[in-house]
Amino acid sequence: MTKRRDVIKTIVASSALAGTSALFSSFKNFIPLDNSLKGNINHSVCRWTYSFLSLDELCQLCKDIGIKAIDLVGPSDWETLQKYGIYSSMCNGAEINLVDGFAEIKFHEQLIKNYTKMIPMVAKAGYKNLICFSGNRKGMDDETGLKNCTEGLNKLMALAEKNGVTLVMELLNSKINHHDYFADKTPWGVELCKRVGSNNFKLLYDIYHMQIDEGDVIRTIQTSHPYIAHYHTGGVPGRNEINESQELFYPAIMSAIHQTGFKGYVAQEFIPKNENKKASLAEAIKICDI
């Protein structure tokens, strides 16, 4: 399986067929959906999971399906998105990597420098969300990590508020994909949001990751939604298509998100395994378009 951290590293630097559901069969020839989407969910897709396409090809695919945004795209690629009228729903490029983050004080100087430069760039381009990471635990307890992250993030909040940019920390599982990652539980992330105390710092709730590390997805969304700015999808287990080949029922999850009044984006972040990978993305959007 392609490693997310390796693909992200490549993107940042430059800026077996699965079980087929009945629904998937209706997308065999790839049917554009832009005129049939309901508008209750703002759809996006993560750049790295479709990196086998050029960015131009992915933008055109999004246009064909009706997806209005792409996640995890940095400044060097914003011009391409704008050419197609595609929004950058989660910007990246200020982070060091996934393991060296705000939980360690020794990285604060570099992170503050990076984000101080990037936040105004995001705002100038007309975007709102910029991703960040806790980094790994490396022997620290929860309280130490909370204190360190709060200290580092608070040095950026005035700038983020001034520019109307939200720093969004992603929750990742530490059980399977990102061993030792600090922000691996929603309650820890919510507590961090409370300590930072700004509407310009929130969480990226990755449904795939949080199903693995804590489960209870819908109730967590219902109780924690004020602290969530963004969502990612993915099939469990395996992080592949989100159809009936995996254990999560995404229509119910999307309904729960919609019922909270959420107006942000839900980005597909599954690694397509089926032969027709474009159809897999069209199917995922249809599943989530409640």
CB burial readout 198-235, b (16+ within 10 A) else e: bebbbbbbbbbbbbbbbeebeebbeebbebbbbbbbbb
Quote the pLDDT of residue 36.
82
Is 253 part of any domain?
yes
Is 30 part of any domain?
no
Structural domain total, the chain: 1
Is 106 part of any domain?
yes
- Give me 43's structure tokens: 């759809």
Quote the pLDDT of residue 236.
98
User: Which residues of the chain register pLDDT less than 70?
Assistant: 1-35
Quote the pLDDT of residue 64.
96
Are 272 and 239 a contacting pair, CB within 8 Å? no
The domain in which residue 196 lies consists of: 41-277
| Unique residue bearing structure tokens 């705002």 | 123
Quote the pLDDT of residue 227.
98
CATH label of the domain that carries residue 196: 3.20.20.150
Is 286 part of any domain?
no
Q: How far is CA 224 from the centre of its chain?
A: 17
Is 51 part of any domain?
yes
- What's this model's pTM, rounded to 2 decimal places? 0.89
Is 26 part of any domain?
no
Is 216 part of any domain?
yes
Each residue's pLDDT tens digit, 171-196: 999 999 999 999 999 999 999 999 99
